[in-house]
Amino acid sequence: MATDGVKIIDGDTANDTYWGIMDLYDSGADFDTINRAFPLMQPDYFDDFDQEIYVTSCALALWETGQMTGDKLAYVKSIIDKGACVKVWSEECDPKEGRARQKELDKFWKKISATNTKVRARKKYREITKFYFQPDDLLAFQLKDGNYRAVICTTIDQYRGQCNYIFVPTTYNAAKKPTADDLKDQEILGNRIGSGYDQQTTRDMQPGIERVWALAGCDCNFFFGVIQMAVNHKDLVNFKDRFEKVGTLKIIEELKKAASFGYEEDFEAFEEVFGDLENHIKIFKYDTYPVTTLCDV
């Protein structure tokens, strides 16, 4: 099942649909464009379960943006009346889950059947233009033991008003403040990511993956990703001075894919991770990869 819960917006399909529509709406796209990208009716692409998830999440977005019509409403009702999700949750999970989904559908139908008198306005999200650091900055920081550690700021992501700096950990640990040259004999935290494609397709989808495959010394077929530590702009303001740019180090763009992603809210989180990095790597089953393999050096 492509969902995590019984609510209308739960799980990947529902979130991708609802927020896909809202992102287009907020960006100023006209409704013809939105409807082409997310047509309410596309039964050929879904089984009954996933079709209900898609249609209901799509319908919620249409209602909130004032685009619900009588014919669309009738189609939504025909999908809901199939009872696909209620049946699956009742039979494959727990009857309570089925009843919970039915309750959500009943509330949902009552909501979208009524005229929306407060159509959601298009949102304009504030974009940060003055950054504390830049992509490819090599940042050093000192812990309580007096030694320096280092992370690479690989990217800065801005989405729906959120601005996150993506830091990738390295294994550097020494009393000397590092330079980019000092990192050449160090490693970066990452992991293999399973590929369901043939080897050539995997190669086409992630150019440069051969550099990582070569380390294994075998006929490989997997994707690769780095360990990502994200810090929000509004949180980083409180401890940005703990980091110092000591150079630049560029991870090959196609190898910046995330293998693991987490949010850090304060410097104490970095103290916890880097204070005993070996144990952290062991607990979370991370691997380490040479800087010279992953970076343009």
Which pLDDT score, from 0 to 100, does residue 62 have?
97
Which pLDDT score, from 0 to 100, does residue 43 have?
74
The first and second tokens of residue 95, run together, are 């009857």
- The greatest distance separating any two alpha carbons of the chain, rounded to the nearest whole angstrom, comes to 70
For residues 54 and 12, give the distance between their C-alpha atoms in angstroms, rounded to a whole number.
10
Which pLDDT score, from 0 to 100, does residue 206 have?
97
Q: How far apart are the first and last CA of the chain?
A: 44
Helices 48-64 and 70-80: crossing angle, nearest 10°? 150
Phi-psi region of 160 (alpha: psi -120 to 50; beta: other; left: phi over 0): left
**Helix (H/G/I), strand (E/B), else coil: 153:** strand
For residues 266 and 269, give the distance between their C-alpha atoms in angstroms, rounded to a whole number.
6
**What residues in the chain have per-residue pLDDT under 70?**
1-4
Which pLDDT score, from 0 to 100, does residue 8 have?
94
Sign of CA dihedral 61, 66, 67, 73: positive
Query: Backbone phi, then psi, for 247, in 5-degree steps?
Result: 155, -170
Which pLDDT score, from 0 to 100, does residue 125 have?
85
For residues 13 and 172, give the distance between their C-alpha atoms in angstroms, rounded to a whole number.
40
For residues 58 and 15, give the distance between their C-alpha atoms in angstroms, rounded to a whole number.
10
For residues 36 and 180, give the distance between their C-alpha atoms in angstroms, rounded to a whole number.
48
The first and second tokens of residue 89, run together, are 């949750």
Distance of alpha carbon 295 from the chain centroid: 23
Which pLDDT score, from 0 to 100, does residue 71 have?
95
The first and second tokens of residue 107, run together, are 């509330």
The first and second tokens of residue 121, run together, are 């306005």
For residues 228 and 262, give the distance between their C-alpha atoms in angstroms, rounded to a whole number.
6
The first and second tokens of residue 156, run together, are 């800065």
Residues contacting 125, CB < 8 A, separation 6+? 26, 160, 161
